[in-house]
Structure 1
């Protein structure tokens, strides 16, 4: 099992996803917010990587994570919902470069993978798009999918 004691920035959670990229945050760096997961959070990140992110990577190539694990302080700083699965290491936001690619990734996950939530989201002010995807083992995955306004 992964623990903070045996982690370093280069530790791989899966073949293509590192511990560092799943906890990295520009907001945390700018505001000096500790973004340190527990051992249980790290194990949930590993499961998310193995069950969702790796299959996406194999199908579509390089997959950039814009937000993975968030501490409570970081989640509040970025305006995350109080019960966000990011707080548990169960969620990641995948950067989407264009609408067409985003819909292909969204449809692939929705049709082929087990997931808890899949949300195609965007920020109106700057046009930034991302897929929020979560995976849990705390209960059966709900397979909730939404691509509103996309």
Structure 2
């Protein structure tokens, strides 16, 4: 069944996908974006996630919107762009695919922040990408981080 446009931020990214959180479910934390955060999520999907999907096929979002309570519960930074609906974390199945995603975004798309993150303890990798809609300026800041 095709989702209605009210349930979608863009052709391939749903509201549910961009606010889903296993941690929020486990802890009983409400994780609903407001109107401004929803528009930010829509712009992130249209300007960054859709072009990435069109180039590489299906991508998996592991974290999109986070309420303040959820952000605190997972130990997110106090000023996380996830809380404003401006950021998403993308699952990276392996380093080669992660590099292709990273380079495509870095050299092709407008973005605010792009982080290729590696967790040394378990080898987990993900891309954090953010987008700010006008009048905000997108910094185009890209870096690799090991945590």
Place the TM-score, normalised by the shorter chain, in its bin: over 0.9
Aligned to 2:72: 76
Deviations 1:12-47 (A, max 9, x none): 110000000000000000000000110110010000
1:100 matched to 2:96? The reply is yes
The answer for the alignment partner of 1:5 in structure 2 is: none
Ranges in structure 1 where 5+ consecutive residues have no aligned partner = 1-7
Displacement, 1:83? Answer: 0.3
What is the distance in 2 between the residues matched to 1:81 and 1:36?
19
For the aligned residues, what is the CA RMSD? 1.5
User: How far apart in 1 are the matches of 2:70 and 2:145?
Assistant: 26
Residue in 2 that maps onto 1:113: 109
Work out the CA distance in 1 between the residues paired with 2:66 and 2:146: 26
1:64 maps to 60
Q: What CA distance in whole angstroms lies between the structure 1 residues aligned with 2:131 and 2:38?
A: 13
Which shows bigger deviation, 30-39 or 120-129?
120-129
Q: Give the structure-2-normalised TM-score.
A: 0.93
Which of 114, 130, 141 is the equivalent residue of 1:134?
Answer: 130
Q: CA deviation at 1:149?
A: 4.4
- What is the correspondence of 1:34-73 to structure 2 with a 5 Å cutoff? 34-73=30-69
Q: Distance in 1 between matches of 2:87 and 2:105?
A: 14
How many positions carry a matched residue from both structures?
142
**Matches of 2:39 and 2:63, distance apart in 1:** 17
CA–CA distance in structure 2, aligned partners of residues 131 and 35 of structure 1: 21
Following TM superposition, where does structure 1 have runs of at least 4 consecutive aligned residues deviating by more than 4 angstroms? none
How far apart are the structure 2 equivalents of 1:129 and 1:98? 8
